[in-house]
Amino acid sequence: MTPKPYRPLTLLAAAMLLTAFGGYGPEALGNNVNGAVPTEQTTATRDGSHDFDFLYGKWKMPNHRLLKRLAGSHDWEDFMSYDECGPLPGGLGNQDIFKTDHWKDFVGVTTRTYDPKTGLWRLYWVDNRFSGGVIEPPVVGKFDGNVGVFEAPDTFNGKPIIVRFTWTVHPKGSRVVADWAQAFSSDGGKTWETNWTNEIIPMDDAEAARHFGPGI
């Protein structure tokens, strides 16, 4: 699940962001806009192709969302969403469908693709309310142990920011399988404001059928 309803990044904006942040763009993550990645590999690449397998299935997700971002706000809203995730063919990655009634008839789709040469994941998001039919440039990153960090330059209210998604996978048998957090930085990554979190909790069969029917 990758909800981030805010203005998508354009190629021109990306160039402006890299200038504003003194060429920000971790070499390990490559170029988030055109998908280019470093060609030199100094160490063996860990096989991370199954890092998101924990998401396969149907989930309910309590959300905790900051109402005003990068404004010093402490006012949050809470709502429920529902998600179903499955693999893409040929080991390409995976895709999930995110639904909530917080915004009327809201549906979002996350497509995650994996590059076995670099071990990097790219997470793409599009929804039926904020995206305007445009698939946003991906956040890019990988897991280290049970924590995955994925970042990209973007803009918010016309100003350059960095977006960070953090996935934390909990031990097997935990009530909460994993949690997700979105954070923005307006100072090149020196400080971060978390503005959205949610938890991944299994649904029972009746809940899953009510929200998604018999299959994805």
The domain total for the chain is 1
Structure pTM? 0.80
110 within some domain: yes
129 within some domain: yes
177 within some domain: yes
44 within some domain: no
* CA dihedral sign, ordered 106, 140, 136, 56: negative
Domain that holds residue 191: 11-26+59-68+83-212
5 within some domain: no
121 within some domain: yes
89 within some domain: yes
* pLDDT, tens digit only, all 216 positions of the chain: 555 554 333 333 333 333 344 444 443 444 454 454 444 456 789 999 999 999 999 999 999 999 999 999 999 999 999 999 999 999 999 999 999 999 999 999 999 999 999 999 999 999 999 999 999 899 999 999 999 999 999 999 999 999 999 999 999 999 999 999 999 999 999 999 999 999 999 998 888 788 887 654
32 within some domain: no
